[in-house]
Amino acid sequence: MIKRVINRCKDYLVVLPGFEHRYIDRLKGKVSCLLYHRVEDYGEHAFLDHGGSPVISEPDFDRELTYLKQLPTQFYTLADLYAGHFPDKDTIGIVICFDDGFKCNYDQGLRLLNRHKIQAVFFQCTGFIDSKFLNWEHLLYWLHQNPKTRPALIERLKFKLEPTGRHAVSIRDMRDIIDSKFIEAQTLLLAEEFGLRKEIKKLASQIYPDQQMIINAFNQGFEIASHGHGHYKRDTISDELFEFDLVQSKSALCGLLGQAPKSYSYPFNSYTPKDHDRVGQFFNMIANVDLARIDQPVSETSGLIPRLTWPGKSTNRYRMKRWLLTGKF
Cα–Cα distance measured from residue 93 to residue 81, given in angstroms and rounded to the nearest whole number: 10
| 3 state DSSP class of 292 | coil
Print the SS3 string covering 244-261.
HHHHHHHHHHHHHHCCCC
Q: H/E element holding 265? A: strand 263-265
Smallest gap, in angstroms, from Cβ of residue 329 to Zn ion?
Answer: 21
Three-point CA angle 297, 38, 116, nearest 5°: 60
Residues in the interface with Zn ion (CB under 5 A) total: 3
252-271 footprint of Zn ion as x/- string (CB under 5 A): ---------------x----
- CB-wise, 86 or 136, nearer to Zn ion? 136
Smallest gap, in angstroms, from Cβ of residue 105 to Zn ion?
Answer: 12
Decide if residue 137 touches Zn ion (CB under 5 A).
no
- CB-wise, 27 or 39, nearer to Zn ion? 39
Q: Which of 64, 80, 99, 223 contacts Zn ion by CB under 5 A? A: 99
- CB-wise, 40 or 100, nearer to Zn ion? 100
Q: H/E element holding 186? A: helix 180-193
- CB-wise, 74 or 270, nearer to Zn ion? 270
Contact 18, 291 (CB under 8 A): no
Cα–Cα distance measured from residue 137 to residue 180, given in angstroms and rounded to the nearest whole number: 8
- CB-wise, 86 or 98, nearer to Zn ion? 98
Q: Which of 100, 223, 245, 275 contacts Zn ion by CB under 5 A? A: 100
Smallest gap, in angstroms, from Cβ of residue 183 to Zn ion?
Answer: 15
Smallest gap, in angstroms, from Cβ of residue 318 to Zn ion?
Answer: 29
Whole-number Cα distances in Å, 21 to 12, 57, 329? 14, 27, 18
Q: Which residues bind Zn ion (CB under 5 A)?
A: 99-100, 267
